[in-house]
C-alpha cells in the first residue's frame, strides 16, 4: 500500500488504520513501544476483553429471555440456554485460534474476521463473510437505536403513570428519543478505535449487571407476592395461542436465545486489542470462558425468574413491558442503565465496520489528505485528539442513516432478528469450524471432522427455523405498519 520512503504519509496511514491488513512496517518485536507487527503495543487484558464481550453479549435482549422461556417451558428453555452457551464457548475457542496464521505465538496476525477467513479459506468465502458480518453490524446498530428509545420512553411513561395514578395512558412518540440517542452516538463515534473504548465497555458492562440484577430482583419479588412458581414444563399452552402460533413462537424463542449469545462477528477485532505474552488465543479463551459463564448465569436467572413470575403472560421485555410498574424509581434506574449500556454496545459493534470502511478508503486513495491526514487538536480536559475529516464525516453519516431507518421501521427488531438468524450459523459456527479444520489439518471423514460437521449442520437447522419465526414476526408487523408514527 505504501513504501517506507514516504515516512510522513506512512505514519498518517499507520496511525489512522487500526485494522489495516497491509501496512508494510518492519517487525519490532524487541521494542517496548511496538508489537511484532510494528504497531503500537496493544494493551488489552483478560478483563478488558471480557468487558468488551459482556458489553456485546448481554444486551437488553437478556430481558426478553423470560418471554423466550415462556414459549419453550421449564424443560426446553433452560436446556436450550445451556446448549447455546456451550456451542458459543466452543466455537469461540476455535475462532480465537485463527487470530494468527501458523504459529499461535509468532504467526502472521489476522486483524479482522475477514482477514482470518482470507488467510485460512480464501476465495468467494471472504466476500460472503464480509457481506454477512457487516450487514449484521449495521442491523444491530439499528436494533440498539430502537431498543434504547423504548427504554427512554419507559422512563417517561413510568413517571407519567405515577403522576396520574395510572389514569393517563401516556402515549409517547419514539422519534425524539431515537434522535437523542443518535446525537450521543455521533459524539462517541469519534473515538478513533477499539483499543480506546475499553473504559466505555467497562461502564457498559457494569450497567448490564445493574439492570439485569434489578430485573432479577423484581422477578423474585413477584414470585414471592404470587406465593407460587408459575409456568409449565412445555411452555405456553395451546388455547392461549393457536398450534401454528406456538410453533412460530418456539422457533423465534430458539432464535432469541441463540443470537443472545452471538458475538463471533467481533471476536477477532476484540482479540486484536490484547497484549502478549501470553499468546492472544490463550488470553481470549480465558476471556471467553469468563464472559460466557457470567452471561449464562445472568440469562438463566433472568429468564427463569421472569417466567416463574409471569408464566404464559411473560412480557417481551421485563422492564418496559407490562410486567412491573412499581417501584417506579427502581424501573427508571434500570432503564437508564439499559440506555447507557446500549450507548457502549453500539460502539462495540460499529467500530469494526468503521475500521473496515476507513481501511478500504485509505487503500484506494492513499494520497488523499482528506482521507489520510490527521489534524492534531488540543481538547481542554481530554488532551490531544487527532481529527480526521473523512472519519468524522463518514461516521456521522452512518449514525444518521441508522437513526433515520430506525424511525422509518420501528419494528426493525424483527428484521434484525432475521439478519441475526442468517448471521448466526455462518459467523458463529460455519466459518470458525471450517477455518479450524484447515488450520489444524484435520483429516476429512475422521471422527473429529465428523463431529465438527454434525455440530455445523445442527446449528444450520436451528438457524433456518429461527429465520422462519422472524419472517412470521415481520409479516405480522407489516399489517399495522405506519412509518414515523411509532408511539407507546
- Longest CA–CA span in the chain (Å) reads 76
Is 45 among the domain residues? yes
Q: What is the predicted pLDDT for the residue at 320?
A: 66
| Residues in CB range of 181: below 8 A, 6 or more apart | 145, 148, 149, 152, 339, 342, 343, 403
**How many structural domains are present in the chain?**
1
Q: What is the predicted pLDDT for the residue at 8?
A: 42
Q: What is the 3-state secondary structure (H, E, C) of 112-144?
A: CHHHHHHHHCCCHHHHHHHHHHHHHHHHHHHHH
| Residues in CB range of 236: below 8 A, 6 or more apart | 70, 71, 246, 249, 312
Secondary structure of residue 228 in the 3-state scheme: coil
Q: What is the predicted pLDDT for the residue at 278?
A: 81
Q: What is the predicted pLDDT for the residue at 138?
A: 87
Q: What is the predicted pLDDT for the residue at 407?
A: 85
Q: What is the predicted pLDDT for the residue at 300?
A: 87
Is 175 among the domain residues? yes
Is 459 among the domain residues? no
R_g (Cα) of the chain, nearest Å: 23
Give me the domain span that covers residue 170. Answer: 41-237+260-410
Domain of 366, CATH number, reads: 1.10.4160.10
Is 395 among the domain residues? yes
Q: What is the predicted pLDDT for the residue at 11?
A: 42
Q: What is the predicted pLDDT for the residue at 27?
A: 45
Handedness of CA 110, 362, 134, 85 (dihedral sign): positive
Q: What is the predicted pLDDT for the residue at 21?
A: 39
Secondary structure of residue 194 in the 3-state scheme: helix
Is 184 among the domain residues? yes
Is 100 among the domain residues? yes
Is 437 among the domain residues? no
Q: What is the predicted pLDDT for the residue at 452?
A: 93
Q: What is the predicted pLDDT for the residue at 173?
A: 80
Per-residue burial over 16-54, b = 16 or more CB atoms within 10 Å of its CB, e = otherwise: bbbbbbebeeeeeeeeeebbbbebeebebbbebbbbbbb
Q: What is the predicted pLDDT for the residue at 29?
A: 45
Q: What is the predicted pLDDT for the residue at 106?
A: 77
Secondary structure of residue 19 in the 3-state scheme: coil
pLDDT along the chain (488 residues), means of 10: 42 40 42 70 84 75 80 89 89 88 79 87 86 85 86 84 71 86 90 71 82 84 84 80 82 79 81 82 89 87 86 76 68 87 85 85 82 74 74 91 86 67 84 90 91 92 85 76 60
Is 243 among the domain residues? no
User: Where does residue 453 rank: exposed (0-12), middle (13-18), buried (19+ CB within 10 A)?
Assistant: middle
Q: What is the predicted pLDDT for the residue at 133?
A: 83
Q: What is the predicted pLDDT for the residue at 323?
A: 53
Please name the residue that has the C-alpha cell 421485555: 317
Amino acid at each position: 500500500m505504501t513504501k517506507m520512503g514516504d515516512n510522513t504519509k506512512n505514519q498518517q496511514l499507520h496511525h489512522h488504520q487500526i485494522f489495516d491488513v497491509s501496512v508494510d512496517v518492519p517487525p519490532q518485536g524487541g521494542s517496548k513501544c511496538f508489537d511484532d507487527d510494528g504497531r503500537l503495543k496493544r494493551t488489552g487484558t483478560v478483563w478488558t476483553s471480557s468487558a468488551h464481550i459482556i458489553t456485546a453479549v448481554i444486551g437488553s435482549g437478556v430481558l426478553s429471555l423470560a418471554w423466550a422461556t415462556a414459549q419453550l417451558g421449564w424443560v426446553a428453555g433452560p436446556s436450550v440456554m445451556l446448549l447455546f452457551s456451550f456451542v458459543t464457548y466452543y466455537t469461540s475457542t476455535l475462532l480465537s485460534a485463527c487470530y494468527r496464521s501458523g504459529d499461535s505465538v509468532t504467526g502472521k496476525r489476522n486483524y479482522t474476521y475477514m482477514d482470518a477467513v482470507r488467510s485460512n479459506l480464501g476465495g468467494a468465502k471472504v466476500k460472503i463473510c464480509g457481506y454477512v458480518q457487516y450487514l449484521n453490524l449495521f442491523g444491530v446498530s439499528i436494533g440498539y437505536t430502537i431498543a434504547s428509545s423504548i427504554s427512554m420512553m419507559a422512563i417517561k411513561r413510568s413517571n407519567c403513570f405515577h403522576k396520574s395514578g395510572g389514569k393517563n395512558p401516556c402515549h409517547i412518540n419514539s422519534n425524539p428519543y431515537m434522535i437523542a440517542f443518535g446525537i450521543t452516538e455521533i459524539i462517541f463515534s469519534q473515538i478513533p478505535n477499539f483499543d480506546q473504548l475499553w473504559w466505555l465497555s467497562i461502564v457498559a458492562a457494569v450497567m448490564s449487571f445493574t439492570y439485569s440484577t434489578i430485573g432479577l430482583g423484581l422477578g423474585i419479588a413477584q414470585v414471592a407476592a404470587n406465593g407460587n412458581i408459575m409456568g409449565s414444563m412445555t411452555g405456553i399452552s395451546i388455547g392461549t395461542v393457536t398450534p401454528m402460533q406456538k410453533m412460530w413462537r418456539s422457533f423465534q424463542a430458539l432464535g432469541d436465545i441463540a443470537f443472545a449469545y452471538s458475538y463471533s462477528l467481533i471476536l477477532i477485532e476484540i482479540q486484536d486489542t490484547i497484549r502478549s505474552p501470553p499468546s492472544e488465543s490463550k488470553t481470549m479463551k480465558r476471556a471467553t470462558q469468563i464472559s460466557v459463564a457470567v452471561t449464562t448465569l445472568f440469562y438463566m436467572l433472568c429468564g427463569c425468574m421472569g417466567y416463574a413470575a409471569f408464566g404464559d403472560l411473560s412480557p417481551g421485555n421485563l422492564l418496559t413491558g407490562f410486567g412491573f410498574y412499581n417501584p417506579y424509581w427502581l424501573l427508571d434506574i434500570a432503564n437508564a442503565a439499559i440506555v447507557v449500556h446500549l450507548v457502549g454496545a453500539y460502539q462495540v459493534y460499529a467500530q469494526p465496520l468503521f475500521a473496515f470502511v476507513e481501511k478500504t478508503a485509505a487503500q484506494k486513495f492513499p494520497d488523499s489528505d482528506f482521507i489520510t491526514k490527521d489534524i492534531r487538536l488540543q481538547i481542554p480536559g481530554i488532551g490531544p485528539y487527532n481529527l480526521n475529516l473523512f472519519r468524522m464525516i463518514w461516521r456521522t453519516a452512518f449514525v444518521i442513516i441508522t437513526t433515520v431507518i430506525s424511525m422509518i421501521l420501528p419494528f426493525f427488531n424483527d428484521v434484525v432478528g432475521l439478519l441475526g438468524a442468517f448471521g448466526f450459523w455462518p459467523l458463529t459456527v460455519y466459518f470458525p469450524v471450517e477455518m479450524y479444520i484447515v488450520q489444524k489439518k484435520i483429516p476429512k471423514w475422521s471422527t473429529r471432522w465428523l463431529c465438527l460437521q454434525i455440530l455445523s449442520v445442527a446449528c444450520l437447522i436451528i438457524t433456518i427455523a429461527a429465520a422462519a419465526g422472524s419472517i412470521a414476526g415481520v409479516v405480522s408487523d407489516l399489517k399495522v405498519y405506519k412509518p414515523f408514527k411509532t408511539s407507546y
